[in-house]
Each structure stands twice: as structure tokens, then as C-alpha cells.
Structure 1
Amino acid sequence: MNASEPLPEGLAEVVRLSTSLAYRVLNTQLIGSPVPPDQAQALVNAAKLMHDNGVDWPPGVVEALRRLVETLPPATPEIDEPAAEEPSEGVEDVGPIAMSRGRKIKRFIRSFRKGRD
């Protein structure tokens, strides 16, 4: 969505609440406490909802998600995941830092899906 366009009321509330939750997550991390899984899951769900509706993430949400990803242990290859993927046509080759961050994000989101199963 364009920054000059007003958000629909429901999405505006999602942005407001996700920003509040993001700062709660950041404060929790600041004092050295673990982030409750339900708060992390709610933040991921809100970010996905905003992404699906073309709404830019507020800076606090971006920072909270970045820090949550950083708290994940190093990525290890999984059995069903190839060790090195060949880039598809038209897809830029990314460096190892971006690839490891992408794997961490995938693993982070996958960990919440496993909790629901």
C-alpha cells in the first residue's frame, strides 16, 4: 500500500497492535528474559497478515523480528532439505550471509507450525 493511502480500519488496528507487541518483545529481550512463544507467534502472524495485504511493516516490528531470528541457534541442514540449492533462472545468487538468514527465518516460522500440529 502507498504510504499516502489510509489503511482500512482493521489493518490500521493490526499495525497498531503489532507495533505495541513488537516493543513488548524488544523490552522483554532487553531485560534478558525469553520471549513467550505465544507473543512471538502473534508477531509473526501479524507480520504475515500485513505482508499479505501489502502493508509495510513498522520499524519496531522489523527490529523485533530481526532480533527474534538472531536468537535462533545456527541453522543445520535438514534431511529433506538439499545441502546446496541451485539458483533458479531469474533469481539472483545470494551470498552465504543472506542464505543463512533466510534459512533461520524459515526455521523460525517452521518452529511455530510444528507447535500447532
Structure 2
Amino acid sequence: MKKAESYSAQHWTELQPDGRWHITADAAHKRVNPVLYRCDEVISTWAKIQAPVLWVEGKRTEHDRGGGDKYPRSELEDRLSKVRSVERRVINQAGHMIHLDQPEALAAAIEDFLSR
């Protein structure tokens, strides 16, 4: 069986005797954050940001995966609209972990943003 070609699949999985690929990452990574996330506080904080913000996301990021309707994309868009100055970039051939999937493209986006 051929292993997937993403960085995560190559480095964080291993073929088990049952013939399936298993994640080797620490299960603690899936725990809920011990710090309470208060949406109103976050939105209030984002609204106070005065510096330009670069928002980068991978084109293959699955925003609603696992959350169903609990975390719809529209909610993220609404939160981002509260930031005064947001420049958005989408990196092709990248998912949630852009820095692993496309490090050069991410570095170029950051360098371009910071050079202005």
C-alpha cells in the first residue's frame, strides 16, 4: 500500500500489521484546549488590532471538518471582518499546515507582506 504524499502522512503515520496506516502523533494533541475560548472576547480583541494583518490559509483547508455546523465558514468570515486591515492569501497545494505543505510559498507571502 502506497503511503500518502503529504508531509503529515509521511512523518506522522506508520503502517500497522492490520494493513492500515495509523497516526503516530501524541493523542494529547486532540485534547480540547484547557483555556476557555470566549468568542466575544476574541472578537473584541481582533477589533482592536491596529497593525496590518496577513491572513494565510491553504486552499485545501477543510474549515468545517469535524465541526459540522458548529463552526461554519461564515462565522470565521464574520470574525475576520472585525479586523481593520486584513490582507488575505490562499496558498495552493496546501492544507491546514501550510508551513509543512508549502514552506517556500508561505515564506514568500510573508516576505512580500513585510516588505511593504
- TM-score for both structures, normalised by structure 2: 0.27
Q: Which has the higher helix share?
A: 1
Compare CA radii of gyration and give the structure with the larger one.
2
Q: Which has the higher strand share?
A: 2
**TM-score (ref. length: structure 1):** 0.27
